[in-house]
Amino acid sequence: MKFGWKIFFLCMAIYVASLAIIGVVVTENTYNSLLKKEIERSLEEESNLHSTLALYLLNNQRIAAEKIELKNYSKSMVDMIKADRNYLEIFDENLDLLATNAPKAWFLNREELEAALQGQKNFVLRRDEEQLYLFVSNLLEINEEKIVLALVKDITHVDYHRRELRLFFTKIGLLGLVFVALITWGLSSILLKPVRELSLTAQNIASGNYHVRAKVNRRDEVGLLAEQFNIMADKIEQKISQLKAEGQRQQRFIDNLTHELRTPLTSIIGYAEFLLKAQYNSDIFKKGLSYIYSEGNRILKLSKTLMDMIFVREKSLQLQEESIIPLLLEVENIMRVKAEKEGIILTVEGKDTFVLIDRELFKVVVTNLVDNAINASKVGQKVTIGVEETPEDLWVFVMDEGKGMEKSEIDRVTEPFYRIDKSRSRKEGGIGLGLAICYQITEQHDVNMEIESEVGEGTKIKIIFPQKFYKNFTSQMQI
């Protein structure tokens, strides 16, 4: 069952239950109040009647100047009662009926008459079919002669009033039920509209429309839910985009790896087939075997580099406080021979400080960056390895004055096998994994690697250490 229907039926149930309880309470209270007033009025009427009849009998006795028999006046006393729905019964001391003006006789156990004969005024409510009667009994005694007076009053109108009140509540309740049903349905539709919009938005997102957002401008709980839902949708869209980008990178990795393996394997197989079919010639055999050996070494180098990437990803870092300038000077010494051979000026600059790094892995990063910078530079250009400190962080950078990169290439340059100058890289034996390894190592260190480059103006690659990596630390536990 939908939530809107649940709210609707719940409101209807609450309304009906509330109306029923109020109706019963009001009806019964009114009924009891009317009944109490009717009993009080009847008791007062019986008292007045008792006094009137006593005076009547005493007056007749005075006129007759002798003792009278009460039973002889029963009929005349009954005829004195002319009120509508009021009846009088007169009984002798044996509780035999002497006279009555009631339309019917009640053959019931009249215990109230016996109580009245003992001098106890009392009343009894009795229901006869659909009629309700009030019996008020009292003793009338004149000159030691006793009769019992029973005032019978038809108070069915009290029951009728209760039925009318119940019918009134039923009619009002039905009209109110229709009104409340319409109001509840309208309000639930209005209140649940944002929820339906959220549901529709969720369906759109589930179907792949990750850009859709809930448009709910409210400050209540539903508005907060919509706000959190949109935040969640943003995260999902971001994550999906990342997964798509990661999937594309993985596919490019597989495609590039396949291509990198296919090229040398094709050469190896081609030369092997040629040597199998060709007549023996020492020069041709040496040349062919040389190509096979060269391409085999290329595959071996590729395999070793891929293993290095796996090693970097799986290796636990051995972080220690290291002085950065001596490490950079060590890299300069390693790369000086290649720089001099290419005619590149290699320098180190900056103020020494301590950083928390895995020394060997970090040296691999800087060495690869310097190697790439030398490859991108021309004779006479300068490659700078340096340290730069700001109030917020510290940079270790490698900067060259070479050919630079397009902005579209900066985001992809850290992908495995990606080369900017593919022909030159292959000629030099590069396989496009250097920056990928550097990126992995910096990620392992939880630091950022940023690339700034302009075509024709050179490239600057910065490894950015937050303050916690180079200030106010004494051990790894303080990070």
* 104: CATH: 3.30.450.20
State pLDDT tens for residues 210-252.
Answer: 777 777 677 777 777 778 878 888 888 888 888 887 777 666 6
Q: How many CB atoms lie within 10 A of CB 311?
A: 12
Residue 168 in contact with residue 78, Cβ under 8 Å? Answer: no
Q: What are phi and psi of 410, to 5 degrees?
A: -60, -40
In a domain, 133, yes or no: yes
Q: How would you classify the pairing of strands 345-349 and 382-389?
A: parallel
SS3 content of the chain, % helix, strand, coil (to 5): 60, 20, 25
Q: Calculate mean pLDDT across residues 73-91.
A: 83
Dist CA 105 CA 84 (whole Å): 17
Helix (H, G, I), strand (E, B) or coil at 393: strand
State pLDDT tens for residues 321-336.
Answer: 889 899 999 989 988 8
Note whether 254 and 323 are same-domain residues: no
Given a cut of 60, whether residue 469 has pLDDT beyond it is: no
pLDDT at 382: 92
Note whether 322 and 415 are same-domain residues: yes
Residue 331 in contact with residue 366, Cβ under 8 Å? Answer: yes
DSSP 316: P
Dist CA 281 CA 179 (whole Å): 107
- The pLDDT-based confidence of 384 (bands split at 50, 70, 90) is very high
State pLDDT tens for residues 22-48.
Answer: 989 999 999 999 999 999 998 998 898
Better-predicted residue by pLDDT, 248 or 381: 381
Helix (H, G, I), strand (E, B) or coil at 406: coil
In a domain, 126, yes or no: yes
CA dihedral 410, 416, 422, 425 (to 10 degrees): 110
Note whether 334 and 413 are same-domain residues: yes
Residue 450 in contact with residue 410, Cβ under 8 Å? Answer: no
Of 265, 289, 314, the residue at which a domain comes to its end is 314
Dist CA 56 CA 267 (whole Å): 147
Q: Calculate mean pLDDT across residues 60-70.
A: 69
Helix (H, G, I), strand (E, B) or coil at 129: coil
- The pLDDT-based confidence of 307 (bands split at 50, 70, 90) is low
Note whether 336 and 420 are same-domain residues: yes
Tokens standing for residue 166:
């119940």
pLDDT at 425: 46
Note whether 422 and 435 are same-domain residues: yes
Note whether 152 and 301 are same-domain residues: no
pLDDT at 414: 67
In a domain, 129, yes or no: yes
**Token pair 């250097």: residue:** 434
Note whether 309 and 342 are same-domain residues: no
Better-predicted residue by pLDDT, 226 or 375: 375
DSSP 467: G
Note whether 304 and 321 are same-domain residues: no
Q: Calculate mean pLDDT across residues 189-195.
A: 77
Give pTM, 2 decimals.
Answer: 0.47
% of the chain with per-residue pLDDT over 90: 9
pLDDT at 427: 46
User: Chain-wide mean pLDDT for the chain?
Assistant: 80
**145-154, 266-275, 382-391, 409-418: least confident range:** 409-418
> CATH code at 423?
3.30.565.10
Note whether 327 and 446 are same-domain residues: yes
Of 147, 162, 177, the residue at which a domain comes to its end is 162
pLDDT at 255: 59
Q: How would you classify the pairing of strands 320-323 and 354-357?
A: antiparallel
- Domain range spanning residue 12? 3-162
Dist CA 126 CA 148 (whole Å): 19
Smallest Cα–Cα separation from 151: which of 132, 138, 168?
Answer: 138
In a domain, 176, yes or no: no
Note whether 95 and 16 are same-domain residues: yes
Total structural domains in the chain? 3
Better-predicted residue by pLDDT, 284 or 96: 96
In a domain, 385, yes or no: yes
pLDDT at 397: 92
Note whether 65 and 141 are same-domain residues: yes
pLDDT at 37: 92
The greatest distance separating any two alpha carbons of the chain, rounded to the nearest whole angstrom, comes to 179
Q: Calculate mean pLDDT across residues 410-437.
A: 57
Given a cut of 60, whether residue 471 has pLDDT beyond it is: no
Dist CA 438 CA 352 (whole Å): 22
Smallest Cα–Cα separation from 92: which of 145, 55, 144?
Answer: 145
Tokens standing for residue 265:
């394997």
pLDDT at 474: 40
Residue 465 falls in which region: left (phi positive, over 0), alpha (psi -120 to 50) or beta: beta
Q: Which neighbouring-strand residues pair with 464?
A: 395, 448
Side-chain-facing half-sphere of 239: CA atoms under 13 Å:
6
pLDDT at 246: 73
**218-227, 248-257, 260-269, 436-445: least confident range:** 248-257
133-172: b or e for each residue (b if 16 or more CB lie within 10 Å)? bbbbbbbbebeeebbbbbbbbbbeebbebbeebbeebeee
Note whether 329 and 310 are same-domain residues: no
